[in-house]
Amino acid sequence: MPYRVLADLVLVVHFLFIAFVVAGGFAAIRWPKVAWAHVPCLAWGALIEFAGWICPLTPLEVRLRMASGEAGYSGGFIERYLLPLIYPGALTREVQIWLGVSVLALNAVAYGWLLARFRRRRPAVHEEPGRASPPARCDGPGG
């Protein structure tokens, strides 16, 4: 029983990690410091997809399931749990690359949005930070 609970815990952590890789850039828009954790996770997730590797959490989960008396499975987490939800067919190399590109593109949008927000907040180049601009002169009628 404890091995099954641990396997389920690994499954949940794995799912949360993938969700963070996919959507963490949007969390960084709200909480910019999240980017320091998200960017390395994003790089790892994309590398796993592009290289065709299996995340180390998958074999750990399989070993824990087998230790609990359950049958293990072959393939990766995405192929076992997520792909059947998204695609009825098997995970192919092309689909794996498409997933990697999609995750990078989605997060490029999020980080582009974040960078644009930071640029809007910065003071103009001619102004010194913390110092107000001089009042504008009014040379027109009545001024």
State how far the Cα of 80 lies from the Cα of 70, in Å rounded to an integer. 15
In angstroms and rounded to an integer, the radius of gyration of the C-alpha atoms of the chain is 24
| Continuous segment of H or E residues that includes residue 64 | helix 57-67
Percentage of residues in the chain having pLDDT higher than 70: 71
Tell me the two tokens of residue 46. Answer: 């994309």
| Continuous segment of H or E residues that includes residue 16 | helix 2-30
> Given a cut of 60, is residue 99 above it in pLDDT?
yes
State how far the Cα of 69 lies from the Cα of 71, in Å rounded to an integer. 7
pLDDT band at 42 (very low <50, low <70, confident <90, very high): very high
